[in-house]
Structure 1
Amino acid sequence: MTADLETLHSWRAEGWRGLRVGVLGAAVVGFAAADTLVELGCEVLVVGERATEERTTLLDVIGARLELGDAAAQRDALAAFAPDLLVVSPGFHPDVPALAWAAEAGVPVLGDVELAWRLRDKTGTPAEWITITGTNGKTTTTQLTTAMLREGGLRARACGNIGSPVLDAIREPDGWDVLVVELSSYQLHWMSEVSPAASVVLNIADDHLDWHGSAEAYRAAKGRVYERTRVACVYNVEDPVTEQLVRDADVVEGCRAIGFTRGVPRVSEVGIVEEVLVDRAFLDERRTSALELTTLHALDEAGLSAPHVVADVLAASALARAVGVEPRAIRDALAAFRLDAHRIQPVAEVDGVRWIDDSKATNPHAAAASLGAFDRVVWVAGGLTKGVDVAPLVEAVAAADRLRGAVVIGRDTAAFTEALARHAPGVPVAVVPDVDTDRVMPLAVEAARSLAGPGDVVLLAPAAASMDQFTDYADRGDRFAAAVRALPQGGAARTE
């Protein structure tokens, strides 16, 4: 038999007990799903390519079965198990053998976020949800929003793509007032019933085209965040695609479209007037008045003054205001907030050259925002391009006359060197050969130092993913920072 999803809309639904559920993926999200389902009384089989020794042991302890193997073996294990329902971890493409089998067999499939939405009443009154996506800025905006809510007296929890599965958050014993859920396009692909209080698409640029197949499919996945929103769909006035996604969304009657802009806001927008961030959306007198949230000077003191970060601040402010957070709480939260590591993070200043780690700029859109924050840049770039063309980024940066040099690392070196030769022929370029991971950043930093002079910024903003040479973007950034700090210092130096 297959699960009747219409009966499975509560933690207390009788239909969960005894249900046979397959879980595709044995990493963090897969384990959270298995743990949740076992607690519900389901019979659970987890399939995946690999699992850590600790996770293997824990799955055995909680009473879930684990079958590891390649894609075909995962399909065969699920077919033999004959699940009533399949829960999929983010990142599995719909045409992988296990999911193709489920479609052919008529087995319903839920993503982890959709499953969490159905079970959100475990601890009593369900928390409100705020959902956040975009090509870039998701994590920063999620953290900013959470900080604002907490400063406003709400028990708020950041979860989802930010690192802690939503399924763990909805099961925490004391519950929450608000869950701030960061969502990737992979997670959004599987969502069908989530109905948040407020939602946002921060920006849209080509990314993950190798997974989605086209820019249109990627945009459509992002736009799903707006579906069924109840209070406010927040969009980026400077990115018309996000506004169109709001127009296309099927929302709850009474939901408002709220814009954020680094310019002067119109009615129903948050923005900036004479270096003051203001709200013209969530007040009755919005046609004639505005509420002060903070100032650009205060953001600069908090290290939040880069243009793309200011945009994130405005988006987070709109989301917080949508659930009733007062302007004073927003101001105080921003004064205390600090950006994560690897997000335009100062590393050191050596001989008049500033070294900045923005390893989290894993696509051209993020790198463009980072490069735009500095006037004279030696750019450290490269990695896995994920099917995205980097030439428009290089052309734009070259036209702005910001580049003093470039150092290219990673597997997809040719994509960068060819674009630089075409669009920035006068810019010196150094290429780090394909060497052991331990040697990549020392060589890159030494090459960058030879290209940089006093007043320049050496910026690690790779515009590409990191998994060709590093564990993840954090590993890449950490190795960059370590190599910078190992440089011989000819004069006065300051480490951040």
Structure 2
Amino acid sequence: MGSGQVTDSSAPFDFRGKHVTVAGLGVSGVPAAKVLHGLGARVTVVNDGDDERARTQAAELETLGVTVRLGDGATLPEGTELIVTAPGWKPDKPLFTAAHEAGVPVWGDVELAWRLRDRDGRKAAPWLAVTGTNGKTTTVQMLASILRAAGLRTAAVGNIGVSLLDAVTGDEEYDVLAVELSSYQLHWAPSPRAHSAAVLNLAPDHLDWHGSMEAYAADKGRIYEGNRVACVFNVADKATEDLVRAADVEEGCRAVGFTLGSPAPSQLGVVEGLLVDRAFVEDRHRNAQELAEVSDVNPPAPHNIANALAAAALARSFGVSAAAVRDGLRAFTPDAHRIAHVADVDGVAYVDDSKATNTHATEASLAAYESIVWIAGGLAKGATFDELVAGAAKRLRGAVLIGADRALIREALARHAPEVPVVDLDRTDTGAMLQAVQEAQRLARPGDTVLLAPACASMDMFTNYNKRGDAFAQAVRELGA
């Protein structure tokens, strides 16, 4: 881990009269365009799509005096002095190639939020930031719950769906922000410097966007740059510690690990059913502080305990008491479709983890239960399933496969779990979920868990993972009717 005073490149930027192009409408583009217009910039929005939603958003912006070009996201508007892009726009788009050739800087909405965080003389709220392949949203929500339990004014913002830009430019003042950052957002955000930050885990994801695992990891690692107090990493995932070692941080910033085992000094971990802190205590070589019981974590699945430890580490880095960690974890309720217990029917538990859209998330989900009838399948996004199936084989009572790429999972099951009965549903209509749940009920025995953890995206059958989880829950309710 590098040391020394890190230069903050976020110098003041006068937007008055500047021609700023906003790339993309949507969750980040519309707030960015409004804020920039309010700061006196001449704003042009370019957008690839030209659908009804885009036209509605364009009409709203045009009433403010913003220029909007729909169906043309490739051409750099003449006179552009800065681009502010939606995070999902790939770096190899022609717009950015043209910007690079013209010497025009490209920021994401997170970069813009960082640059605007201390305008108008207000004290800027420090950021406690979280990234990782899986668990980001849950960890940030846990963190916000802990910070609120400590009496701090806070919000969970960023990739969680609440605009970070709105948080830093709105009227409400915060003591600290719990910030979820995706690899896309970090790619376009060179300047942010967090109070403390965590990388929860690293597994192959979005490689078509980043180009390689190395580039993906490097973008994740940006979250540690310039950290002031703590860089939090996952002891079980060496790649996260490697990112800490490579980061250039402020003098005195510490590396703090979290582990599901007994913690070493400068770590948080688990001892005899307790979450304990050996990082933010006096004489950490001899002492440990009890933070909470494992049973205070909802749900107490292994990967969720890891999320809780990461959230606790960030909160403790900000001076939060052990009691507030406990109270915040107890008060936390996870979002729908994240290992959500739907019902028990005839002694079988039915659990919705539709949010497990990749193999890494599904691996964690499968590890939480002893005997499982697994409902899986959808769009594989280039994933392979051999390692996932081999690791979970001993836990599988049976499997029910749905979706466009189910054959990939079926073949992995045949190779690594040939004794596990498999039902392959040759259909991709939304009604397949009811049949899948009925087949799972047939395979299950009292004490088993029927687990929807698809390891795939949902868009072959459903609008999103929420709709897929809703269909599962409705099918379960029909079983128990």
SS of the equivalent of 2:190 reads coil
Identify the residue that residue 479 of structure 1 maps to in structure 2: 471
1:307 aligns with 2:321: no
Give the letter for the 1:44 counterpart.
V
1:332 aligns with 2:332: no
Deviation at 1:8, TM superposition (A): 7.0
SS of the equivalent of 1:234 reads strand
Identify the residue that residue 434 of structure 2 maps to in structure 1: 442
SS of the equivalent of 1:192 reads coil
Identify the residue that residue 313 of structure 2 maps to in structure 1: 318
1:362 aligns with 2:357: yes
Deviation at 1:171, TM superposition (A): 1.2
Identify the residue that residue 273 of structure 1 maps to in structure 2: 271
CA distance in 2 between partners of 1:228 and 1:50 (Å): 40
CA distance in 1 between partners of 2:69 and 2:86 (Å): 15
* Greater mean alpha carbon deviation, residues 462-471 or residues 305-314: 462-471
Change (3 A) 1:111 1:345: same
Deviation at 1:453, TM superposition (A): 2.1
Deviation at 1:138, TM superposition (A): 0.4
What is the correspondence of 1:160-171 to structure 2 with a 5 Å cutoff?
A: 160-171=158-169
- 1:153-180 CA-partner distances (Å, limit 9, x unpaired): 2111111110012111111113211111
TM (norm. structure 1) is: 0.91
Identify the residue that residue 44 of structure 2 maps to in structure 1: 45
What is the correspondence of 1:453-468 to structure 2 with a 5 Å cutoff?
A: 453-468=445-460
Deviation at 1:488, TM superposition (A): 5.4
Identify the residue that residue 494 of structure 1 maps to in structure 2: none
CA distance in 1 between partners of 2:9 and 2:207 (Å): 36
Identify the residue that residue 3 of structure 1 maps to in structure 2: none
SS of the equivalent of 2:460 reads coil
Deviation at 1:420, TM superposition (A): 1.3
1:422 aligns with 2:415: yes
What is the correspondence of 1:99-248 to structure 2 with a 5 Å cutoff?
A: 99-122=96-119, 124-248=122-246
Identify the residue that residue 406 of structure 2 maps to in structure 1: 413
Structure 1 unmatched runs, 5+: 1-5, 490-496
- 1:170-223 CA-partner distances (Å, limit 9, x unpaired): 111132111111011111111211100000000111111222222222211111
Give the letter for the 2:423 counterpart.
A
- 1:63-104 CA-partner distances (Å, limit 9, x unpaired): 2222111xxx3223x33x431111111111111122222222
* Greater mean alpha carbon deviation, residues 37-46 or residues 209-218: 209-218
CA distance in 2 between partners of 1:351 and 1:187 (Å): 45
SS of the equivalent of 1:62 reads coil
Give the letter for the 1:272 counterpart.
V
CA distance in 1 between partners of 2:408 and 2:87 (Å): 28
CA contact (8 A) 1:277 1:296 kept: yes
CA contact (8 A) 1:9 1:119 kept: no
CA distance in 1 between partners of 2:354 and 2:428 (Å): 19
CA contact (8 A) 1:260 1:271 kept: yes
- 1:29-81 CA-partner distances (Å, limit 9, x unpaired): 11111111111111111111146154233212332222111xxx3223x33x4
Identify the residue that residue 22 of structure 2 maps to in structure 1: 23
CA contact (8 A) 1:210 1:386 kept: no
- 1:368-391 CA-partner distances (Å, limit 9, x unpaired): 111011111111111222222222
CA distance in 2 between partners of 1:324 and 1:488 (Å): 47
- 1:111-136 CA-partner distances (Å, limit 9, x unpaired): 11011100001351111011100111
CA contact (8 A) 2:403 2:428 kept: no
Deviation at 1:415, TM superposition (A): 1.8
CA distance in 1 between partners of 2:269 and 2:349 (Å): 30
Identify the residue that residue 424 of structure 2 maps to in structure 1: 431
CA contact (8 A) 2:10 2:191 kept: no
SS of the equivalent of 1:258 reads strand
RMSD, matched Cα: 1.7
CA distance in 1 between partners of 2:385 and 2:209 (Å): 17
Identify the residue that residue 87 of structure 1 maps to in structure 2: 84
Q: How many equivalent residue pairs?
A: 470
Identify the residue that residue 351 of structure 1 maps to in structure 2: 346
CA contact (8 A) 1:347 1:356 kept: yes
CA contact (8 A) 2:397 2:421 kept: yes
CA contact (8 A) 1:18 1:43 kept: yes
CA contact (8 A) 1:381 1:464 kept: yes
CA contact (8 A) 2:347 2:446 kept: yes
Deviation at 1:325, TM superposition (A): 0.6
CA distance in 2 between partners of 1:284 and 1:128 (Å): 24
Identify the residue that residue 367 of structure 2 maps to in structure 1: 372
SS of the equivalent of 1:86 reads strand
Give the letter for the 1:37 counterpart.
L
SS of the equivalent of 1:474 reads helix
Identify the residue that residue 66 of structure 1 maps to in structure 2: 68
CA contact (8 A) 1:209 1:386 kept: no
Give the letter for the 1:34 counterpart.
A
Between the two proteins, what is the percent identity of the paired residues?
54
CA distance in 1 between partners of 2:238 and 2:261 (Å): 14
CA distance in 2 between partners of 1:145 and 1:44 (Å): 36
CA distance in 1 between partners of 2:191 and 2:389 (Å): 40
CA distance in 2 between partners of 1:337 and 1:67 (Å): 43
CA contact (8 A) 2:9 2:191 kept: no
CA contact (8 A) 2:402 2:428 kept: no
Find the partner of 1:384 among 379, 388, 393.
Answer: 379
* Greater mean alpha carbon deviation, residues 222-231 or residues 383-392: 383-392
SS of the equivalent of 2:119 reads coil
SS of the equivalent of 2:384 reads coil
CA distance in 1 between partners of 2:379 and 2:428 (Å): 15
SS of the equivalent of 1:486 reads helix
SS of the equivalent of 2:391 reads helix
Structure 2 unmatched runs, 5+: 1-7
TM (norm. structure 2) is: 0.94
Change (3 A) 1:68 1:434: farther
Deviation at 1:340, TM superposition (A): 1.2
Deviation at 1:394, TM superposition (A): 1.1
- 1:213-265 CA-partner distances (Å, limit 9, x unpaired): 22222211111111111110000111111111100111111110011111111
CA distance in 2 between partners of 1:486 and 1:464 (Å): 25
Change (3 A) 1:471 1:9: farther
SS of the equivalent of 1:288 reads coil
